[in-house]
Amino acid sequence: MKRHSLQIRLAGALIALLLPTAPLHAHETRIETVVEGLDRPWSLAFLPDGDMLVTERSGQLRRIEADGTLVRDPVKGLPEDIYVDGQGGLMDVVLDPAFEENRRIFISYSCGTRKANHTCLGRAVLGENALEEFREIFRAQPAKQGSAHYGGRIAFLPDRTLLLTIGDGFDYREKAQNKSDHLGSIVRLDRDGQAPDDNPFLGEPAARKELYSIGHRNPQGLLHDPASGRVYSHEHGPRGGDEINVIEAGNNYGWPVITYGVDYNGAQISPLTEKEGMEQPIVVWTPSIAPSGMTLYDGDLFPDWQGDLFSGALAKRKVQRVMLEGGEVQGEEALFEDLNRRIRDVRTGPDGALYLLTDHGNGELLRVVPKDH
């Protein structure tokens, strides 16, 4: 428990208020449409040959060639039990760290039925516009009803284990504090879907051995920063109280015991915003921006952006830049508001451009480059 985290955060906020907030627009940008006509695109992965994979929440995996051509037919071989409804469907796609050797990819998706569904993780080998050897390797427990709050973001750690975010299922928010299930947690798995033998809750007999951190609501942004070793995650708050957290093994992030938001109907969920043994966020967004997708920019095209976090915002229809210095938040900047698009995912491309996915029936893949590029 970081006892002084609230004071540090408040001091940071005070500094941010006192300091001039320029040079926020250090970069003039140009936005190019790479592809349109995607059906609620959710996530993006860059292949070594320059092609890209895009998931569509409606249950398709699409390939985009390096020249921006959308391959007409979706990638075949996805699991048949993808449950598409509400917030559920096909979610993240991530390449195996050893992709060039094994051509393996990992996908997250909701599976099951309306009465009994889960956040699931599968892996397969990417062939010629088809997945081979698909295998479901993890299924969050227990089954839940309804089609909300799946989490679903995947990030690999340097030891080639992966983290997967799992939402609280909305109606099951108290289970985010329950270590005997996976709801409202981040789990750490090896590439076979098994719990590594150094997971933090292995010593607790009643706890699920896959758990890495608990007390999450609906985390839909997750990344590992190789430079600092930190893991950043953001999650949707209820009405207000969206958060960015630094994720550490074994920590409890508090939901729903501590929260900076209230329920959608105006009711208080908890009067507490801090409690011993529960971690404080490094950023709180009230009112909610509905964050989804996140990248830590490490490209060459925007030198002033290097080391900063960029989060998509669904409700506020923008990209939110969070300026970091030594892990401390220095300020924030709203970007691309004039697009007026729900931003589902943000990625740093291998070419240094910032790539955005817009959350619409006619969704787009957008590429942000310097204006004079």
Partner 1 sequence: MIPTDKALYRAGTVRLPYAQQGAVHPALLGFMAAVLLTTLTGTLVQTQFNLAAVQALGAGIGPGTWLWVTLQDLAGFSPVLFVITLMTFLVAIPASALFCRLTGLPRYLVYTVGTATGLVVAMRLVDHQVPMPTLIAASRGLFGTVALMACAAAGGWIFAAMTSDTRRRAR
List contacts with partner 1 (CB under 8 A). Answer: 86, 145-148, 170-171, 173-174, 177, 256-257, 262-272, 275
Residue 147 or 161 with smaller CB distance to partner 1 = 147
Kindly write down the DSSP assignment for every residue of 292-308, as one continuous string: EEEEE---SS-GGGTT-
Shortest approach of partner 1 to residue 335 CB, angstroms? 26
Residue 86 or 200 with smaller CB distance to partner 1 = 86
Residue 259 or 348 with smaller CB distance to partner 1 = 259
Contact 184, 217 (CB under 8 A): yes
Shortest approach of partner 1 to residue 90 CB, angstroms? 19
Contact 217, 236 (CB under 8 A): yes
**E strand or H helix at 10:** helix 5-18
Residue 167 or 331 with smaller CB distance to partner 1 = 167
Nearest-angstrom CA–CA distance, 39 and 362: 6
Cis amide linkage into residue 238, ω under 30° from 0: no
3 state DSSP class of 216:
coil
Shortest approach of partner 1 to residue 147 CB, angstroms? 8
Nearest-angstrom CA–CA distance, 249 and 61: 32
Known catalytic residue at 118: no
**E strand or H helix at 132:** strand 131-139
Shortest approach of partner 1 to residue 272 CB, angstroms? 6
Block residue for tokens 């006892």: 3
C-alpha pair distances (Å), 134 with each of 51, 128, 131, 254, 337: 21, 14, 7, 35, 39
Residue 88 or 349 with smaller CB distance to partner 1 = 88
Q: Which of 149, 216, 234, 236 is catalytic?
A: 149
Closest of 329, 320, 241 to residue 287, by C-alpha = 241
Shortest approach of partner 1 to residue 140 CB, angstroms? 17
Catalytic sites, residue numbers: 149
